[in-house]
A = this chain, B = another copy of it.
Amino acid sequence: MATKAKIGVLGASGYTGGELVRVLLRHPRAEIVLLTAERSAGKAMRDVFPQFSPFALPQLVAIDGLDWGRVALDVAFCALPHATTQKVIKDLLARSPSTKVVDLSADFRLSDTAAYAKWYGHEHHAPELQKEAVYGLTEIHRREIKKARLVANPGCYTTCAQLPLIPLIKNKAIELDEIIVDAKSGMTGAGRAAKEAMLFSEVSEGFHAYGVGHHRHMAELDQEFSVAAGREVVVTFTPHLVPMNRGILSTIYVRGRRGWTPEDLHALLLKSYMKEPFVHILPFGETPHTRHVRGSNMTFIGMAKDRVPGRAIVVSALDNLVKGASGQAVQNMNLIMGWPETMGLEQVALFP
């Protein structure tokens, strides 16, 4: 049997941390040797996630006391809050330069220091790492990710919008100034921090939009769409919250450019993702349900014709904790480590 890599999950008590542990427990090349959690340091993983009760896992520890050189991780997954992340990763890589890092926060997603400062309101604490970091949308940046030491795993909303849109933009198939992304997310996307607005009774049996007209994931959309288009692209983006745990569905309104019909757009997506194990294009006219990708690393994408001539409606769905976070992070680790890209990610969606 092949030797296993030493893996650490920083921020193991949150939802993306827990999801990393779920996937890594069954990954044939991974051995979890470090789990950190600031407020729960000293507890067992089963105390914060009872589903792991039957498994032997390291105790939760605080980051502060760690000697990264001694821990000598092969791979660190970083699921820490914004801003904290920059400092931790800077320190980790300084003391253990050969560790590979997949960061699930937003800290290294923007390559432009000015864009970062504008959206986050302060200078970046590790600008040299910001430059080094590779944007981890696997299907689009596979080549760079393979060689990366630090991967900035994309946001869940952005993965869901970029996978269908980037091929359409790159191929100049749609009008760049008429893209509207109406996105709907399950509640785990909001994290595990105890906030009144996230209580069951505030969320159940209702639906609402939030961050209307402004949301930080827009910065990532702008960056990647502009790179794909070769000019600045600004899309309309409205996130909503659905009373469900997992899943994002994006309903995307586009207009075909110079004679591109909805059928042509569909054919382009089919061709673009033909060989991808984790992107599945539905037959023309069918659109996906979030429930059919739940717990899996799949993205399902559908394309339908609008009755308004020239307009097409693209619908994409993924599990925000898997392809939208921890699954894609493991996919990126697999690439970096030279393992099969699908390793540990074979789980079929859990429906119902």
Contact = CB atoms under 8 A, between A and B. Distances in A.
Contact of A292 (B53, B292, B347): B53
Contact of A213 (B247, B305, B348): B305
Nearest to A309: B234
B307 A213 contact: yes
A289 B214 contact: no
Given A208-B290, A292-B50, A253 B236 contact: yes
A3 interface: no
Interface string A85-108: 000000000000000000000000
A204 B352 contact: yes
A243 B240 contact: no
A9 interface: no
Interface string A281-300: 01001011111111110101
Contacts of A199: 187, 192, 194, 198-200
Contact of A291 (B22, B53, B206, B287): B206
Contacts of A352: 15, 18, 188, 201-202, 204-205, 245-246
Interface in A178-198: 180, 182, 184, 186-188, 192-196, 198
A51 B201 contact: no
B306 A207 contact: no
Interface in A225-270: 234-236, 238, 240, 242-247, 249, 251, 253
Contacts of A351: 18, 49, 51, 206
Given A192-B201, A243-B244, A298-B54, A184 B184 contact: yes
A296 to B, nearest CB: 8
A311 B289 CA distance: 29
B348 A205 contact: no
Contacts of A72: none
A296 B53 CA distance: 13
A313 interface: yes
A194 B52 CA distance: 25
Contacts of A193: 196
A282 B53 contact: yes
A214 B285 CA distance: 11
Contact of A26 (B22, B308, B346): B346
Contacts of A192: 196, 199, 201
A184 B207 contact: yes
A29 interface: no
12 contacts: A18-B351, A51-B293, A51-B294, A54-B280, A199-B199, A199-B200, A201-B245, A204-B204, A205-B246, A208-B249, A238-B251, A294-B350
